[in-house]
């Protein structure tokens, strides 16, 4: 039987030449799983995400989120002595992750192909904005810009007002894809004994998510337009104000749910066969009437009363919460983390849980810039 507290990545060494969000999040996943993660930073400057904000008791929210449980080593990889140290690290490493500007690691002698030729068991992972070829290869690729280039903003926001998704989804998605790729590479190495290369780009990640709107554009002649909290091809679907100033969202996805809404919530079974609402297509075609019907009923009842009726009728619903309300959500799990100055904070618990996880987990400490430089230099001298 597997022991509680088992760490599946224990014994792995991950070296990450990283900055910002995508690569740090990927390496942090391995730190959470028990791997030793050595984060390479620039001396005196460090990962620029350290200075994004000071929201977490003086520390940057992005940095705390993506860098707990790591060791920080300051290197100048252009300096011969530090380059030699990095090579000594990579001789012992299982995984090398980097997301510097295109061509930067190659110019310094740390290109993935070169490294794997020198260290055959090493798994390399390059995270870029637009990939390693093509006209956009050298373009700066911040999350917001990739949201724009990929069309993500064109299907988000309110009608006539494309909107940026409010979290760094392209960075996060690229990180998740990198983790998936690295896990595949670890399995492949376990079979073949050889390392391999993983390439992930923010643009490819966003492009994958845009498959359905793209198919609508390619084959149906019209891409979905931004509709706020509503859905371009389902009705009723969206947020509606309640009598006490709250907002609830509902999603009716089949005729059984529509019938339940009409009979068990509205108390109006005749709406089921009304020509305006008698099918999914009719409700979308007559969206203004459909939404007005729902809005009028919601506006006459409190949130608590609506939630009771919707749940009893097995209608899919959810509160449209603010971040402050979300912070008090009964389902939200928190995990403590120690900041680099010793203060305590809390992060959201890991989204994946395993039967072998410890009952009361806490995240590893957030490293100060260069905190482990002297010890690592001595260890790998």
H-helix or E-strand spanning residue 71 = strand 71-74
Inter-CA distances, 136 with 35, 143, 146, 175, 201, Å: 34, 15, 11, 20, 11
* Two structure tokens written together for 100: 């510097």
Q: Which of 56, 76, 80 is nearest to 66 (CA)?
A: 56
Given a contact cutoff of 8 angstroms between Cβ atoms, the answer to whether 93 and 123 are in contact is no
Selected catalytic residue, list 87, 216, 230, 231: 231
Beta-sheet pairing, 161-162 with 36-41: unpaired
Give the residue among 260, 244, 252, 259 at the shortest CA–CA distance from 300: 244
Cα separations (Å) of 157 from 142, 152, 160, 217?
19, 10, 8, 19
CA-nearest of 304, 286, 293 to 248 is 304
The Cα–Cα gap between 318 and 176 comes to 26
Encoded tokens for 209: 């998510």
Place of tokens 């724009």: 148
Give the CA distances from residue 47 to residues 52, 71, 95, 169, in Å, rounded to whole numbers and listed in that order.
Answer: 10, 13, 19, 20
Active site residue 231: yes
- Give the angle subtended at the CA of 11 by the CAs of 376 and 353, to the nearest 5°: 115
Between the two ends of the chain, the Cα-to-Cα distance in Å is: 40
Q: Please give the Cα distance from 41 to 77 (Å, whole number).
A: 10
Q: Which residue has the tokens 């990929």?
A: 150
Task: Compute CA distances 101 → 18, 50, 107, 306, 371, whole Å.
Answer: 10, 18, 11, 52, 25
Indicate which residues carry an active-site annotation. Answer: 231
């Amino acid at each position: 039987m597997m022991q509680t507290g088992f760490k599946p990545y224990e014994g792995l060494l991950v070296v990450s030449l990283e900055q910002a969000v995508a690569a740090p999040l990927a390496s942090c996943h391995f730190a959470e799983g028990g791997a030793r993660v050595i984060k390479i930073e620039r001396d005196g400057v460090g990962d620029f995400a350290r200075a994004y904000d000071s929201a977490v008791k003086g520390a940057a929210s992005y940095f705390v989120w993506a860098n707990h449980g790591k060791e920080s080593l300051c290197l100048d990889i252009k300096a011969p002595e530090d380059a030699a140290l990095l090579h000594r690290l990579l001789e012992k490493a299982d995984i090398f992750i980097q997301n510097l500007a295109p061509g930067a690691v190659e110019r310094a002698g740390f290109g993935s192909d070169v490294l794997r030729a020198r260290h055959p068991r090493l798994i390399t992972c390059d995270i870029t904005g637009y990939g390693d070829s093509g006209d956009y290869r050298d373009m700066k690729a911040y999350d917001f810009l990739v949201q724009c280039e990929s069309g993500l903003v064109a299907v988000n926001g309110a009608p006539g007002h494309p909107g940026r998704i409010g979290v760094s989804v392209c960075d996060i998605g690229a990180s998740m894809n990198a983790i998936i790729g690295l896990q595949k590479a670890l399995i492949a190495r376990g079979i073949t004994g050889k390392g391999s290369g993983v390439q992930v780009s923010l643009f490819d990640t966003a492009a994958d998510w845009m498959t359905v709107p793209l198919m609508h554009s390619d084959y149906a002649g019209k891409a979905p337009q931004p509709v706020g909290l509503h859905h371009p091809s389902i009705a009723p679907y969206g947020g509606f104000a309640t009598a006490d100033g709250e907002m609830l969202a509902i999603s009716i996805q089949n005729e059984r749910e529509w019938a339940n809404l009409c009979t068990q919530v509205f108390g109006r079974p005749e709406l089921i066969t009304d020509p305006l609402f008698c099918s999914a297509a009719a409700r979308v075609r007559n969206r203004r009437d459909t939404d007005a019907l729902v809005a009028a009923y919601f506006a006459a009842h409190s949130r608590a009363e609506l939630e009771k009726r919707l749940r009893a009728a097995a209608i899919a619903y959810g509160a449209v919460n603010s971040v402050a309300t979300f912070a008090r959500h009964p389902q939200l799990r928190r995990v403590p983390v120690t900041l680099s100055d010793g203060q305590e904070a809390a992060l959201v618990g890991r989204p994946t849980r395993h039967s072998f996880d410890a009952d009361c987990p806490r995240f590893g400490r957030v490293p100060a810039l260069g905190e482990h430089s002297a010890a690592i230099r001595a260890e790998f001298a």
